[in-house]
Amino acid sequence: MRFMTKTSISGKKEKLRARVLATREALELDQVEIGAQAILERVLGLEAYRRATLIHAYISSRENEVDTRELIDISLEQGKRVAVPVLEPGKKTMAHALIESLDGLVDGPWGLVRPDPAKATLLEKQEEIDLVVVPGIAFDRRGHRIGFGGGFYDRFLANVQVVKVGLCYDDLILQEIPNEPHDVPMDIVVAQTATYQGAIK
C-alpha cells in the first residue's frame, strides 16, 4: 500500500466498487429488510445520535441501499431537525435542505430523490449539524468507505467538525479499503451485528 501511486489506488477502488456493488445488488429482500431494521436499532442506540439535535441524512433511493427513511421519520418525531443532501449536475458541492417530512420528494440526478430545489429551505450554517449519516456501498472497520465516486461527501465532510456515521450490511464490511488523502473516514460504522468505533469512543 505504501508504494501505491494515486492512480493505482484509484484503479483498485474502481474494481472494488464494481465488485461490492454487485454484491449489494444481489442481496435478497429479506436480507435487506432485516439488516436495515437491525442497523436502525443500533443507530438509535448511539450516544452520538441521542445527543444530536440536527442530523444530516441521505434519503435511501438506490437498489438495496441501507434504508434511512424510518430513521428520518423517527428523528423528526423526536423533535430533531433533519437536513438532507441536494445534489445538482455540474456542481462539485451539495446543498443541504431542511425537511419536516418525506412528503413532496422529487426525482433528482443519479437515481436519487430530493426535496424540490425550487421550494427547499436550505440550511445556511453547516456547523449546526451534529451528526451525518453517510451513504456507502461498503465500509471497512477503520471507517473507510467505497461510495459512488462523486466525491460530494468527502468535500462536505472535510469542511465540518461533525460525527460521521456509515451504515452497512454485514456482508459489505471489508477487511481493508484502499484510501487516498482526500478520503474522509467515518467515526462510526454501524452494521446489523456490530458497531465499529473510529475516533468516537
pTM of the model: 0.89
The Cα angle at residue 9 between residues 5 and 13, in degrees rounded to 5? 170
Query: Is it the case that residue 7 has pLDDT exceeding 70?
Result: no
Are 152 and 85 in contact by the 8 Å Cβ rule? The answer is: yes
Q: How far apart are CA 157 and CA 199, in angstroms?
A: 14
Structure confidence at residue 199 (pLDDT): 47
What string of DSSP letters covers 39-92?
HHHHHHT-HHHHH-SEEEE----STTPPP-HHHHHHHHHTT-EEEEEE--TT-S
Q: Check: CATH 3.40.50.10420 for 6-197?
A: yes
Using CA atoms, how far residue 117 sits from 22, 98, 112, 114, 141, in Å, is: 32, 11, 13, 8, 36
Q: What CA–CA distance (Å, rounded) separates 4 from 118?
A: 44
The reported pLDDT for the residue numbered 117 is 80
Among the residue ranges 16-30, 63-77, 83-97, 153-167, the one predicted with the least confidence is 83-97
Cα 80 versus chain centre, distance: 18
Which triple of cell numbers denotes residue 48? 452520538
CB 71 within 8 Å of CB 133: yes
| Residue boundaries of the structural domains of the chain | 6-197
Range with lowest mean pLDDT among 5-9, 30-34, 63-67, 143-147: 5-9
Helices 29-44/69-77 angle, 10° precision: 30
Judge whether residue 172 has pLDDT over 50: yes
Does residue 44 surpass a pLDDT of 80?
Answer: yes
